[in-house]
A and B are shown apart, each in its own frame.
Chain A
Amino acid sequence: MIDVAASTPAIRATGLRKTFRATDGSTVVAVDGVDLTIAPGEIVAFLGPNGAGKTTTVDMLLGLTRPDAGTVEVYGTDPGRAVRAGRVSAVMQTGGLLPDFTVEETVRAIAATHGRSDRVAAVIERAALTEIADRRVQACSGGEQQRLKFALALVPDPDLVILDEPTAGMDVATRQHFWDTMRADAAQGRTIVFATHYLAEADEFAERTVLIARGRIVADGPTADVRASFGGRTVSFRPPEDVVRPDGLDPAWLARVEQALAPLGVTGVEVSSASLEAAFLALTGDAPATAEPSPMSLDLTGATR
């Protein structure tokens, strides 16, 4: 019995492919041959820039969108059946709430559809919505609405929760609380898959990171490995104050640094600590060379190239 449960993956997707027709009539490949197997109890980050195909993939995992090619199984059955059985639920990125329901009414309505009206109090408590239970949804902040959607996802007490950009609109404290809640859930054996473009979230929370870009999986492994194998090591240092100008570092000085470092085999220097970000930028390949230029920091990488 336990063997069977362990051998049935929470998600098994093979060769997923989905194309859309753009407004100008051309076809856009949103997801292009995605293979993904996720075991029960895993915490997996689905990381990629906007437009990488995260949401489309999530939609196919939930049975909301039919793949053009490939197969999806959730707990060994088709996604629609798994959803109806209450084994899978999701927090979706866009919309999904009625503005003139109160928070509590929204939870009660969704609980009714699952036949789980007994769960209303528990999930409101869980998502820390008790204090705003009587507030209309339209009066809730983005973060509060996100928490409400999270509460709705918990209603069927699912084995697998798929979260699409779950912390969008949350402030730092709320985000922290949200992830604490998720950690507690994961500790109880719930499988958690979340799509995000916040590198820090994947880095901090996921055991495994699946990096997706342009509809394809470009890296998949333990988060630490993904970071280590692509992020490398970097050395940072502070330039002397007299070479820092409002518009960047003194180019003459930079040239001298380059010259001095070249014999040592140094080809790039990063100010920020080595992170998943390096892997993200290298693999997804659509980030500008200097994302956030600040005079004190690293125009150096660009300058030495």
Chain B
Amino acid sequence: MSATTTAVPAATRRPRPALATYVGLDLRRQLRDRVGMFFIVALPSFMYVVFGLGSDERVGSGNVAMYVMTSMATYAAVTATTTVAGTATVEQTMGWGRQLALTPLRPLAIVAMKAAVAMTVAAVAVALVFAVGALTGASGSATDWLLSGVIIWIGSAMFAIYGLAICLVFRGPNTPGIASGLIVVMAFLGNLFTPMDGLMLDIGRLTPMYGFAALAHYPQTDGWLPMGDHDPLWLPVANVLAWTVIFATLALWGIRRSRART
């Protein structure tokens, strides 16, 4: 008796969650975090200006400025998704997760909304760095430019998983900082900040950001590196796939471990 009598009013009184409204509010909150946005947008733009401004030598289908701009946009997008994913796990552990658990939202919807926020912030970061580049002399084939942007944007999702994994494995309020700090190291090893060759390049090729960065540059360079080396396409693809699997495994392990504690 109770099953049917309660189900009917419950269904009729239940409006649908307004997910877009929630994402909008969360996004606005993220974008007005000045310190966070400085590292996501302003710092990469600044580094582009320092390293890339006015370098008009040809590289592949564009110039050096475009190459540096792509590097910094990659760094910006990675920082964006890592930061958003990292703070998301902290918010969950701080009790916002319990608050959301008392709403009609399913866990999958919560993850999807956070992913939407992360990808939007990443898109903003890439767009801004590209805009600074376009205004200050980066030039190259328009299709390669666009293709790089899309690769960076989609590939940065991999680092959302990374941010999630780090914050689940090392718990605590400072972990988003640790995750962002490691990104700087990975960006160096990923050939984003200074051109590498020899042993450093061989080591770098095995590190998490190398494959992603190489793919971001591929439309412009077809795999040729600043110091004359060349990457066949399978190498960065394999790197990205392998590290995505590793990050996802770590994240899953972290989730299981956090569940086991309660």
Contacts and interface: CB of A to CB of B under 8 A. Distances in A.
Interface of A: 1, 4-5, 8, 62, 64-65, 75-77, 81, 83-87, 89-90, 92, 94-98, 100-101, 105, 108-110, 112-117, 152
Interface stretch (B94-102, B150-158, B242-250): B94-102
Interface of B: 1-3, 5-7, 10-11, 13-19, 21-22, 25-26, 28-29, 32-33, 91, 94-96, 98-105, 262
Contacts of B102: 62, 64, 83, 89-90, 92
In the A-B complex, list the 9 residue pairs whose CB atoms are closest, starting with the nearest: A95-B95, A76-B2, A115-B15, A85-B10, A112-B21, A113-B103, A96-B95, A112-B18, A112-B22
A86 B14 contact: yes
A96 B99 contact: yes
A94 B94 CA distance: 9
Given A77-B6, A84-B104, A115 B99 contact: no
Given A114-B15, A115-B16, A92 B99 contact: yes
Binding site secondary structure of chain A: loop
Contacts of A1: 5
A301 B2 CA distance: 52
A185 B75 CA distance: 53
B25 A8 contact: no
Contacts of A112: 17-19, 21-22, 25
B104 A101 contact: no
Contact of B101 (A64, A81, A108): A64
A77 B7 contact: yes
Contacts of B32: 100
Contact of B29 (A5, A77, A105, A110): A105
13 contacts: A4-B1, A5-B5, A77-B2, A87-B10, A89-B102, A101-B25, A105-B28, A112-B18, A112-B19, A112-B21, A112-B22, A112-B25, A113-B100
Contacts of B19: 112
* Most chain A C-beta atoms within 10 Å of own C-beta, residue among B16, B25, B100, B105: B25
Nearest to B91: A98
* Most chain A C-beta atoms within 10 Å of own C-beta, residue among B6, B14, B96, B101: B6
A52 B103 CA distance: 27
B29 A101 contact: yes
Nearest to A84: B104
A76 B6 contact: yes
A184 B132 CA distance: 58
Given A4-B2, A108-B25, A94 B18 contact: no
Contacts of A86: 10, 13-14, 104
A90 B96 CA distance: 13
Contacts of A100: 29, 32-33
A81 B29 CA distance: 30
A95 B29 contact: no
A195 B105 CA distance: 26
A75 B1 CA distance: 12
A285 B62 CA distance: 80
Given A5-B5, A64-B101, A96-B98, 11 more contacts: A64-B102, A77-B2, A87-B10, A95-B96, A95-B98, A101-B25, A110-B103, A112-B18, A112-B25, A113-B100, A115-B18
Contacts of A83: 101-104
A212 B19 CA distance: 40
Contacts of A96: 95-96, 98-99
B95 A8 contact: no
A62 B15 CA distance: 21
A92 B98 contact: yes
A98 B94 CA distance: 8
B130 to A, nearest CB: 28
Nearest to A149: B99
* Most chain B C-beta atoms within 10 Å of own C-beta, residue among A4, A89, A98: A98
A108 B13 CA distance: 19
A86 B5 CA distance: 16
Contacts of B17: 112-115
A162 to B, nearest CB: 10
* Most chain B C-beta atoms within 10 Å of own C-beta, residue among A62, A115, A152: A115
B227 to A, nearest CB: 44
Contacts of A90: 102
A116 B7 contact: no
B14 A85 contact: yes
Nearest to B103: A113
B95 A94 contact: yes
A100 B96 CA distance: 12
A4 B5 contact: yes
A109 B22 contact: yes
Nearest to B261: A21
B99 A97 contact: yes
A117 B21 contact: yes
Nearest to A115: B15
A95 B10 contact: no
